[in-house]
Structure 1
C-alpha cells in the first residue's frame, strides 16, 4: 500500500462502499473452504450470511462479525479472514451479514448478532462456540455478549476482538493524539462521522457497561493504531470485572492488518495467534 497516495481517512462512505463492492466482484472465493449462502427466518428476524466449512466437521463453530465502521458490507477481505480462521481452527465459520447503518442504525447490528448467536445455539453447544470479529464487528460482538449475558444465555467458549473500533465514541484515550501521525487508516476526524451514522449516543459506550460474566477474551491490534488506548482500557476493565482477558499489540501494524494475509506475513501470524487462543479454550471446555 502506498501510504502517501491513498489515505483511507479521507475516503467518504459511498466511495468506500463502491470500492468494497468492486473488490468483492473481482475476487475469487477461497479454495480452502466450502462456501454456502444462508438466508432464513429465526425468531421473527432474518438471518443472512454464509457458511465457510474447512474439511471435516469437528463440531466447532465460529460466529464472525465483519468490520466496516458499522456501515460497510461484508466483502472479499472479510471472507478471506473468515476462511483462514475456519482452516486454522478446523471449524465451520458463520460470517454474519448484519444490517448496516445509517439505513439501520444502533441497535440493529446488535439485534442481528444476538439473533445469529441464538440461532447457532440450536445446534452448537456453547462450549464449542466461538464469537469474534474485527473493527466495528468486534465491538458489535462485545455489545451482543453483554446483552446475551443479561438475558441469562450461556456464554461461548471464548471471544476474539480484532482491532475493535467504537469502544469509546468520545475518543478520549491519549493514543488518539500520541499515535495520530502513524495511523493512516483512522483518526478522530474520520471515525466521528461513522460513529454519528451508527447512532449510539456518546456516554453510553460499551466500556462503561458491566463487563462481568463474559467469556475469555482475546484482543489483538496494530501498534500504529490510535485505537490502542481503548483496547488497553478494555483489557483492564475485563480483568477488573473478574474475567480472563489478553491484549496482543503487533508493532508497526495497521487497522485490521489480519485481513492482509497472505500478502503481509504478520497478518497470517496474527491469525495463527488467534487460532491458538481459540483452540486452547475449546479444548479446555471439551
Structure 2
C-alpha cells in the first residue's frame, strides 16, 4: 500500500441536524451551534498544562455557572445530604426522602474533564442520584488539578469505595461515573481488584473518558460534530496525568486487565467525541468475559442532550433498570 494512503479525504460540508431524533433533542443540538455552523464550545481553548493561573480562572468561571444551575434546581431535590471526609477524600452522602430497600448504595463519580464539577455541583448530583434510585448516593468530590494531579483523584476514589464497603455489602453497591468520572470509576476498580477489595454489583460508564491517549476513531470522525465536546481534551489529560504515561491503565483503564469486573452498562451517542471509548470499552469487557451492555443513542453528543428530551428520559430509565437488577 502506498505511504500516501494515510487516511480518507473528507470534503468540507455542513452536517445537518437529523430528523431521526426527537424535536426536543434537535432543539438542544441547534442551541449549541452558532449561525456559521461552529459549535459554541469550539470558541473556547483550554489553557496549556503549565498555565496554573489559566486553569484556576477556568475553574472559577465554571463554579459561577454551576452555582446558577444549583439555584435553578432549588426545591426540586428531595434528598438530604451530609458531607463527610475519609482521609483526603470528600464524600457527599445523599439520602432520599423515601428510602427503598435498605443497604443499597450508589457511588457516583462526577464528570468535568478532571478539573470541573466538584463542590456544589457534585453535592447536587449526589442528591439527584439518590432521588432517582431511591437509595443512598455517595458523591465522591475527588481532588483535581492543577492543585492535585494524578494520583490524588484516584486515591480519593479508592478511599471513598473503602468507606462505602464498610457500610454496605458489595452485592448492594453500584459504582458509576460520567466522562472523567467514568475514568475514575473504572480505574478505581482496577486498583481495588489489585489491592484485594471485593467488586461491586455493577458498573455504569456514561460516555467514559477511559483512553487518555485519544487513540480511538471517533476522536477524528466526530471532531466538531460533537457540539458539546467538539475538540480534543488532551490538555486536560496531560494536566491530570502530571507527567505520568497516559497509556498507564490507572490513567487509561481501557488498557487494563478487566477480568472479574462486575456487569457493566456502557453508554454513548453517535455524535459523541468519546464514542470509540465506549465501543472499545464494551468490547474489552466482553473479551474479559464480563457481562456488558452497550447503549448508543442516535445523534447524541457527549454527556447527552443536556435537557429533558425523550432520549435523556430513555437513558435514565435504562440506567434505573440496570441498577435495580444489579441490586437484585
With the length of structure 1 as denominator, give the TM-score of the two structures: 0.88
- Name the SS of the counterpart of 1:182 in structure 2: coil
1:176 CA drift (Å):
1.5
- Name the SS of the counterpart of 1:257 in structure 2: coil
2:145 corresponds to 1:101: yes
Counterpart of 2:214 in structure 1 is 171
Relative to structure 1, the CA distance from residue 19 to residue 251 in structure 2 (aligned partners, 3 Å threshold; closer, same or farther) is farther
Q: Specify which of 301, 309, 317 is matched with residue 264 of structure 1.
A: 309
CA distance in 2, matches of 1:173, 1:30: 41
Tell me if structure 1 keeps the 8 A contact 2:224–2:231.
no
Counterpart of 1:183 in structure 2 is 226
2:35 corresponds to 1:3: no
1:35 CA drift (Å):
2.7
Counterpart of 1:222 in structure 2 is 269
1:76 CA drift (Å):
6.2
Relative to structure 1, the CA distance from residue 62 to residue 30 in structure 2 (aligned partners, 3 Å threshold; closer, same or farther) is farther
Counterpart of 1:148 in structure 2 is 192
Counterpart of 1:64 in structure 2 is 108
In the TM superposition, what are the counterparts of 1:1-286 in structure 2 within 5 Å?
2-5=31-34, 7-9=40-42, 10-12=44-46, 13-14=55-56, 16-26=58-68, 27=71, 28-29=73-74, 31-40=76-85, 42=86, 45-54=87-96, 55-59=98-102, 60-74=104-118, 81-165=125-209, 167-189=210-232, 191-199=233-241, 200-204=244-248, 205-257=252-304, 260-261=306-307, 263-283=308-328
1:183 CA drift (Å):
0.9
Uncovered stretches (5+) of structure 1, i.e. residues with no partner: none
Tell me if structure 1 keeps the 8 A contact 2:107–2:173.
yes
CA distance in 2, matches of 1:201, 1:148: 20
Write out per-residue CA displacement over residues 14-36 of structure 1, whole angstroms, 9 at most, x where no aligned residue: 45423431233232445342232
Tell me if structure 2 keeps the 8 A contact 1:127–1:156.
yes
Relative to structure 1, the CA distance from residue 30 to residue 147 in structure 2 (aligned partners, 3 Å threshold; closer, same or farther) is farther
Q: CA RMSD in A?
A: 2.1
CA distance in 2, matches of 1:32, 1:84: 7
Tell me if structure 1 keeps the 8 A contact 2:80–2:127.
no
Uncovered stretches (5+) of structure 2, i.e. residues with no partner: 1-27, 47-54
- Name the SS of the counterpart of 2:276 in structure 1: helix
My pick for the range that moved more, 167-176 or 31-40, is 31-40
CA distance in 2, matches of 1:216, 1:170: 25
- Answer with 1 or 2: which has the greater Rg: 2
